[in-house]
Chain A
Amino acid sequence: MADAITAKTPEIVTTGQMRRQMLKEFWFYFSENRGAVIGLFVFIALVVVAVLAPVIAPHSPFEQYRDAVLRPPVWAEGGSWSFLLGTDPVGRDILSRLIYGAQYSLFIGLFVTTLSLLGGILVGLIAGYYRGWIDTVIMRLMDIILAFPSLLLALVLVAILGPSLTNGMIAIALTLQPHFVRLTRAAVMEEKTKDYVTAARIAGAGPIRLMFRTILPNCTGPLIVQATLSFSNAILDAAALGFLGMGAQPPAPEWGTMLAEAREFILRAWWVVTFPGLAILITVLAINLMGDGLRDALDPKLKRS
């Protein structure tokens, strides 16, 4: 009648196997989202372009061709094949500048995101773990930073520190930090009450080990999603600073700075304005698409079983 229950020895799964399994599962959900995959490919293409810039770019981004000022792109009247996307007001090839600009943008995104991620996680861990007055002070500080619109704050900080790309990046990283702090803090507070943390603490784990090895790995999902958001915001904000003249300084081929130089020529030479902005748009779009896909794949609440 009733079938006998045979005792089965549980399969032993190594950490490596588990990681591979998680990766496979992650890719399954991520790849379901076509936009996310397209975003990923575009992003990879951008990285390749940035890395291979010295090889792919037809000209140097700084070389000024005095006799080819404000040339239109190759398909318009007056364009030529040596300047595929035309030239800017001082005769520099736009395509080459765009290609080198990819280096700037990706570096900016990476630098800013890493800075605000590391800083934010550290501060958030401390605030969420220790609570008490340290938590209150930190959260008030974050509220203060969030009380300002991010661009304004970055602008003022750059005014203090002096207009340059580095200062701009530091300023932007500072404005993006509170998001990571809040996320980490909320996650830490939630995880802290869970049994596995108590178990680790009873087993003798000290606070640092608890914070980094026990709790943090379980908060990575939302952090990764926020990181992609910060990446794209960093690129947009840095370009905005460059546009206002407070970021990367000319003659740097940063896309925002290129737009600043082109501003007075918008009605005469549309290509000087269109292409750098398009580059920004495509980059940010790709990252946001990836971010959407990451969110669908990593956020357990949204997972469809």
Chain B
Amino acid sequence: MALLQIDNLTVEFETATGWFRAVDGVSITVEKGEVLAIVGESGSGKSVSMLAVMGLLPWTAKITADRMLFEGKDFQKLSPADRRKLIGKDIAMIFQEPVASLNPCFTVGFQIEEVLRIHLGLDRQARRARAIELFKLVGLPDPAERLNSFPHQMSGGQCQRVMIAIAIACDPKLLIADEPTTALDVTIQKQILDLIMDLQTRTGMGLIMITHDMGVVAETADRVVVQYKGRKMEEADVLSLFENPQSNYTKALLAALPENATGDRLTTVSAFFDGNPDQPSGVNA
């Protein structure tokens, strides 16, 4: 049984000019302990499908799928209350802007202990002890003092560590990381990435890494899904993807990497679409 199985997911948004299809018939499967990377440019819908699973989309979104199963449980049939028992506990998500993702009015200690109280029912002492333990785990110095800090007093990297701590607080089976390092300094990016991979190896949780950076894909993923304009272009294990890409779009993405540039000019992705980006040549299901 797969950890997460999504079949034929479509997400549409109601806009002033009609329905906009952000995700178009995408199917994604993640096995226990597997690292899946979803890669694509901005607007490819890679975050939207995961937000749909977590139930974080606004009410203007229309979500349809043949199947949305987590550990065999059908998400589409769950009541909102039952779904909330899983979200934040067995499935967790971290986001791109760590400082903005934390509530500025509460201490980070409050924000992590909240999860421990509501999902695990720990009492005050147990919560505090576990919070300190988690902060240590994610590499925050002076964890006991950190509990009383506010998000605006901490750097982006530190806030992302807090977000990771909150996400793994209840030992989730699946962690979804939506561009976790994009908003951080280059030097911190590597640290955070290493932290996430380290935690994944230790706990054996499934990890979905959403990114636009092929370098991150190469370093972290077991399998890769390539998305473009809401559609899945290609799916392969990471080695096959890099050595032998099937889809033209994947080829374009790889060619656009600065290290793959030949000659004086960098290759652009649009160069491969013959001026018609809506109809890419060589579409793979």
Contacts and interface: CB of A to CB of B under 8 A. Distances in A.
A2 to B, nearest CB: 5
Contacts of A304: 16
A30 to B, nearest CB: 16
Nearest to A1: B271
A3 interface: yes
Interface string A1-17: 11100000000000000
Interface residues of B, number: 4
A1 B271 CA distance: 7
B275 interface: yes
Nearest to A2: B271
Give the one of A1, A2, A304 with max B CB within 10 A. A2
Contacts of A2: 271
Interface string B81-99: 0000000000000000000
Contacts of B275: 3
Interface residues of A, number: 4
A3 B273 CA distance: 10
A184 B83 CA distance: 51
Interface in B249-285: 271, 274-275
B227 to A, nearest CB: 24
Contacts of B16: 304
A102 to B, nearest CB: 38
A2 B266 CA distance: 13
A241 B234 CA distance: 74
Contacts of B274: 1, 3
Interface in A114-150: none
Interface string A237-254: 000000000000000000
Interface string A268-305: 00000000000000000000000000000000000010
Interface in B1-44: 16
A75 B53 CA distance: 63
Nearest to B15: A304
B58 to A, nearest CB: 14
A2 B16 CA distance: 34
A1 B272 CA distance: 7
B20 to A, nearest CB: 13
B275 to A, nearest CB: 5
Interface of A: 1-3, 304
6 contacts: A1-B271, A1-B274, A2-B271, A3-B274, A3-B275, A304-B16
Interface of B: 16, 271, 274-275
The 4 closest A-B pairs by CB, nearest first: A3-B275, A2-B271, A1-B271, A1-B274
